[in-house]
Amino acid sequence: MSRLADIPATLSIAGSALRAAVRGLRPFLAMLGAVCAVLVVLAFTRLPYDAHRALGSAAGECTGPVDLLVVLGGSGMPSGAELRRLHHAAELASLHPRAAMWVIHPGDPAVIGAMVDELQMRGVEPARIRPLNEGDNTRAQALAVLREVGERPYRMALVSAPENMYRSVKAFRRVGLADVCGAPAWDHAMDHDFSYTHRRIGGKAYVPDVSAATDLRYTFWNYLKLEVTCLREYVAIAYYALNGWI
């Protein structure tokens, strides 16, 4: 009986502790809500697009001939990010027929093997490709390439995702590879009008008709993803700066 009698007191203590926890979290939750609101509002503007473009081009894009194309891996294979890099690298290989190509990717050798196969399938001659199965982050990749380059004066183009390009170019320059430029693997959106007729394809009358609101259906959500991508990269840039890697 005494245990049953203690239940109300126990619940009261637990309730007080929960209310205190909620009060302590209230400022954090308010700040989090404000940040989310700002991100939602910004997703209706072109600022996320411009921020992403700046990450890809701010360190300097390649404009002239290069001697070495370096593909920076970091995703699985096949994956959208990796295939975009390899597709762009193959295009650059045709534009710079005398340039060698190095592919650097850590982990399972089968992944870098698949990357090399993809490049060969896209017309890059096997003799031009050199795989480097190492480099767990961009700093380590830069040091590995520096070691392999030695004293050779390569004009080097880095192929990576646009959001990683600023940090990549700066990290390579930081280790002493001064003659390096960026070759970001940009996405290419479809040039198509995705409007449709809501009722004609069976849309319900009680469901909002967003058939003509392509910005809401696609652009808004794409920009939300770009915001997360850019915020993550800004944190990485700050981390590299604190370490003196850029």
- In 3-state terms the chain splits into helix, strand, coil percentages (rounded to 5) of 55, 10, 35
Taking the whole predicted model, whether its pTM rises above 0.75 is answered as: yes
What CATH number labels 59-184?
3.40.50.620
Contact indicator for 104, 73 with CB cutoff of 8 Å: yes
pLDDT at 182: 96
Rg (CA), the chain: 25
**208 vs 57: CA distance, rounded Å:** 40
Mutual angle of helices 47-57 and 220-243, in 10-degree steps: 40
Given a cut of 80, whether residue 166 has pLDDT beyond it is yes
pLDDT at 101: 97
User: What are 21-32's pLDDT values in tens digits?
Assistant: 777 778 888 888
User: What are 54-66's pLDDT values in tens digits?
Assistant: 999 999 999 989 9
Write 145-152 long-range contacts (CB < 8 A, 24+): 145/70, 145/102, 145/104, 145/172, 145/177, 146/172, 146/175, 146/176, 146/177, 148/102, 149/68, 149/177
Mean pLDDT, residues 220-246 taken together: 96
**111 vs 153: CA distance, rounded Å:** 29
Contact indicator for 101, 124 with CB cutoff of 8 Å: yes
The total number of residues shown for the chain amounts to 246
Give the rounded percent of residues in the chain with a pLDDT score beyond 70: 94
Contact indicator for 168, 182 with CB cutoff of 8 Å: yes
DSSP per-residue codes, 32-98? HHHHHHHHHHHTTSSHHHHHHHHHHHTT-B--S--SEEEEE--S-SS-HHHHHHHHHHHHHHHHSTT
